[in-house]
Amino acid sequence: MKDSLIVVSGGMDSITLLYEYADRIALGVSFDYGANHNAREIPFAHLHCERLGIRHIVIPLAFMKEYFKSSLLSGGEAIPEGHYADENMKSTVVPFRNGIMLSIACGIAESNGLKRVLIANHGGDHAIYPDCRSSFIEAMNQAMREGTYEHIEILAPYTHITKSDIARRGKRLQVNYAETWSCYKGGEKHCGKCGTCVERKEALHDAQIDDPTEYED
């Protein structure tokens, strides 16, 4: 039964979730909020939705780039290099990004007669991103249920697993990770040095997947 909407960026996590729950997903929604990498990610979201016969739409959120402070919205040169565990990665936080996206996705879901909103936050995000943690998801889920006639719910099955676990699921699903984007700098190739690139390399290595990514280094 196609009862769900997915927030799909075009990255490894959301594309894996897209394939894992394809039989339940009626609509894929991407958000263009002016991030350095949106132009690289979103075409992959459209590609995979089209391949699976899932309608895909892009919602523009240009106001976020204008009014929000984040290195993710300030050009590729502003993105710090290193691991997500490093303190400097906090500069990549876009304040309340998932809250804004989930709110919009909730309204779109109810407008289209859908019951659930899928999001691919995962355990590796918890240290840096407050709106990826289980406590946030639970609170947002409650707000969405209470704020809609149809009691729209969040389905976030990756909340307590790692990106490596997600890559292992993708391997079983035969997801082609060459057709995904991770790098926060948004250049012609993955930089290989920012937090998302480092995490991508580790996840593919741990899942014993030959890394198909073109890196600058």
Does residue 126 surpass a pLDDT of 70?
no
Q: Which of 39-48, 52-61, 76-85, 163-172 shows the lowest mean pLDDT across its residues? A: 76-85
Is 12 annotated as belonging to a binding site?
yes
Is 132 annotated as belonging to a binding site?
no
Rounded to whole angstroms, the Cα distance separating 8 from 120 reads 8
- What pLDDT is attached to residue 84? 58
Please state, rounded to an integer, the average pLDDT across all residues of the chain: 94
Is 194 annotated as belonging to a binding site?
yes
Is 165 annotated as belonging to a binding site?
no
Where do the domains of the chain lie, and which CATH numbers do they carry?
4-206 (3.40.50.620)
- What pLDDT is attached to residue 87? 65
Cβ-in-10-Å burial (0-12, 13-18, 19+) of 144 comes to buried
Does residue 174 surpass a pLDDT of 80?
yes
What number is the average pLDDT over the span 157-161? 96
Does residue 92 surpass a pLDDT of 60?
yes
pTM of the model: 0.95
Rounded to whole angstroms, the Cα distance separating 44 from 142 reads 31
For 63, residues 6+ apart whose C-beta sits below 8 A from its C-beta are none
Is 49 annotated as belonging to a binding site?
no
What number is the average pLDDT over the span 77-106? 86
Rounded to whole angstroms, the Cα distance separating 177 from 193 reads 18
Is 11 annotated as belonging to a binding site?
yes
Amino acid at the residue 10: G
Does residue 86 surpass a pLDDT of 60?
no
- Work out the number of other CB atoms within 10 angstroms of the CB of residue 204: 21
Position 1 confidence tier, pLDDT thresholds 50, 70, 90: confident
Rounded to whole angstroms, the Cα distance separating 122 from 103 reads 19
- What pLDDT is attached to residue 82? 75
